[in-house]
Amino acid sequence: MNSLQAQLAELAACAPAQRIDLREPILAHGVAAVAPLAALAAENPELGPAVTAWLEVLAKREEEAKTPVVAALRALVASSQEETRRHATGALGRLGVSVSASRARRATVAKA
């Protein structure tokens, strides 16, 4: 099995249509994948929507992943990319975690 770092490098370099092929190998690393995935989404905003969806899947699969995933998604709510913010906010909501309207506005204003 490829190392997590190699898989993340492959994710960063691959075409959007091939990203889904990397989801399961990356999520197989469990909690260890959360922070590196969130960092990759922060560095490469094009990956934000996919990463937020993957993190949500991981939180739903593995109870021990939920707390770190929620923290990562809250950080992504402050992304400079509207698409990433929207997806992160939606994922948090589906995980039963609310993001206050004022916090979402502050994130939007801070990035504008």
- Percent of the chain past pLDDT 70, that is, above it, reads 87
Question: Mean pLDDT across the stretch 90-106?
Answer: 76
Instruction: Give residue-wise pLDDT tens across range 11-56.
Output: 999 999 999 999 999 999 999 999 999 999 988 889 999 999 999 9
In the chain, the number of structural domains is 1
pLDDT value at residue 109: 47
Domain range for residue 21?
A: 4-111
Altogether, the residues listed in the chain come to a count of 112
Nearest to 68 by CA among 106, 111, 39, 103: 39
Token pair 């993340």 is at which residue? 8
Q: Please count the CA atoms within 13 angstroms of the CA of 100 that sit on its side-chain side.
A: 3
Sign of the torsion angle spanned by Cα atoms 100, 106, 111, 112: positive
101 pLDDT band (50/70/90 cuts)?
Answer: low
In 1-112, where do the E strands start and end? none
